[in-house]
Chains A and B, each alone.
Chain A
Amino acid sequence: GNSVTQMEGPVTLSEEAFLTINCTYTATGYPSLFWYVQYPGEGLQLLLKATKADDKGSNKGFEATYRKETTSFHLEKGSVQVSDSAVYFCALPFITSGTYKYIFGTGTRLKVLA
């Protein structure tokens, strides 16, 4: 079956520190992979995505590489800012009975201190 395992938080970092949030998956076939971000009190926004193996998604200084050999899609940022404080979700879409469904990781709360 399909599943997403995401690093548990919370993660607390100082400003300009390096960030890694781990995400591994199991899937049938080779689905696209997504990272969504949820700022306090808001819905989710797409942060980045990768549609095939070895693709690197990037946005706002964040990066994630779709690694088929390790079934991983870890999120990284070289220098975090206070404004990056949010909850990050790894997500895997799949189609069942002709309908799109998503599996979300449990979410990792990031807190960046000034």
Chain B
Amino acid sequence: GAVVSQHPSWVICKSGTSVKIECRSLDFQATTMFWYRQFPKQSLMLMATSNEGSKATYEQGVEKDKFLINHASLTLSTLTVTSAHPEDSSFYICSAFPPAKRNTGELFFGEGSRLTVL
């Protein structure tokens, strides 16, 4: 099956620093990837849709200067949390679907990256 992998799984950083999270599709090409944020005991909130070779589409209320998304290749999208603050601490999850699954709508998720900002 399709595999999506995230790195790192866990990251702890100091307030004011920037953190980059990578999302890779390991066995398929993904022109589109999705970044979600999950708060404790809550559902997933779509942050943005990452489009290969073009700008990401951000959801309402998500600061694009805060959460930089780059989709430079068909297998890699990155989320950079800039000038991180404790309120940015969360579980970030990426997802994608292989072209063969596009019509089914089935998403494949990365393992998630837990960010803790001190």
Contacts and interface: CB of A to CB of B under 8 A. Distances in A.
A100 B112 contact: no
B27 interface: no
Interface in B90-109: 93, 95, 97, 102, 104-109
Given A31-B105, A46-B106, A89 B43 contact: yes
B106 A34 contact: yes
Q: Choose among B57, B97, B106, B110 the residue with the greatest number of A CB atoms under 10 Å from its CB.
A: B106
A43 B32 contact: no
Q: Choose among B57, B105, B106 the residue with the greatest number of A CB atoms under 10 Å from its CB.
A: B105
Contacts, number: 56
A109 to B, nearest CB: 7
Contacts of B34: 102
Interface residues of A toward B: which range? 20 to 34
Contact of A107 (B43, B95, B109, B112): B43
Interface residues of B, number: 25
Nearest to A6: B43
B88 interface: no
A43 B109 contact: yes
B49 A105 contact: no
A105 B43 contact: yes
Interface of B: 4, 6, 32, 34, 41-44, 46, 49, 57, 93, 95, 97, 102, 104-112, 114
Given A31-B105, A44-B109, A89-B44, 16 more contacts: A32-B104, A43-B95, A43-B109, A43-B110, A43-B111, A44-B107, A46-B108, A89-B43, A99-B32, A99-B57, A100-B32, A100-B102, A102-B44, A107-B41, A107-B43, A109-B41
